[in-house]
Amino acid sequence: MYPIVDHEVLAPRVHRLRVQAPVVAEKAKPGQFVILIIDEKGERVPFTISDWDRDAGTVDFVFIEVGKTTQQLATLQPGDRLLSFIGPLGRAAEVDRYGHVVTVLSGYGIAATVPIIRALKEHGNTVTTIVQAPDKERLFGVHPLEELSDDLILALGTKGDGMMESTTVAIRKLLDAHPKKPVDRVIAMCSLCLMRVLSEMTRPLGIKTMVHLTPVMVDGTGMCGACRLSVGGTNRFACVHGPEFDGHEVDGWEVLMARRCTYADESILQQGFQCRGCSQW
């Protein structure tokens, strides 16, 4: 059993849990994830690691209430326990000295990208961070991003396509200044549609664009095949070959988005989350 040691509400329906999991904390790296089970009747659900403390043996992750399991997680308090907490899983994010790196974040990615940005800074990079949120009320996690980023851009907009538009305007300004003010790499952990759009925006400029893809996962070891996707014309599994991929090589965006909609149940749709085309979740 894995005790909950802290629970913080970051924004409406957005929570951070800190779990006592020394083995996971000891081996965690930026960009990796865990799969947990709440109790004996629970489902296996993946969450990207947002922080860890090796000395304390704790692991943090951020989630948004969108369905039965995340709503149940939102009720847990310090002292409650998880039945299973497996990780770290997946490949760590690629981190090196690139130069000027632009990170584009939304949702849980606002917190989950912090370890990646921290590692990028440790390697001597200049980091510009663009944060996408519907409005100020649902914006969270700004403080660590301000501390780590050389420049922080808040792309706030209305729910739906307007939110994506405000973000693409911000990235377009940076790309228009390239190569006089070069952008050497883009890292995105945001909506599928926005990651796809960003990949197409940077493709003509030859700017390496890494996207973090988290399709439906079950076992987290590549055995079930639920998280398969096509990258460079080859089948890959997000849980073992990812979750980070070169966005220019992903050639199955339509399938990824269609499969995500397939698994959206009524409880999610009733909360106003859209699942059509390139609308935002």
Q: How many CB atoms lie within 10 A of CB 144?
A: 16
Known binding residue 239? Answer is yes
Known binding residue 278? Answer is no
Backbone φ and ψ of 46, nearest 5°: -95, 145
Cis ω for the linkage preceding 179 (within 30 of 0): yes
Residue with tokens 């590692």: 119
Q: Per-residue DSSP letters for 102-139?
A: EEEEETTHHHHTHHHHHHHHHTT-EEEEEEEESSGGG-
For 221, the enclosing helix (H) or strand (E) is none
Q: Phi-psi bin for 101: left (phi > 0), alpha (psi -120 to 50), beta?
A: beta
Q: How many CB atoms lie within 10 A of CB 264?
A: 15
List Cα–Cα distances, 124 to 14, 100, 141, in angstroms: 32, 10, 23
Question: Which amino acid is residue 13, in one-letter code?
Answer: R
Backbone φ and ψ of 6, nearest 5°: -160, 145
For residues 121 and 240, the answer to whether their CB atoms sit within 8 Å is no
CB neighbours of 24 closer than 8 A, spacing ≥ 6? 34, 49, 52, 59, 85, 86, 87, 88
| Residues annotated within a binding site for [2Fe-2S] cluster | 224, 227, 239
Residue set of the binding site: 224, 227, 239
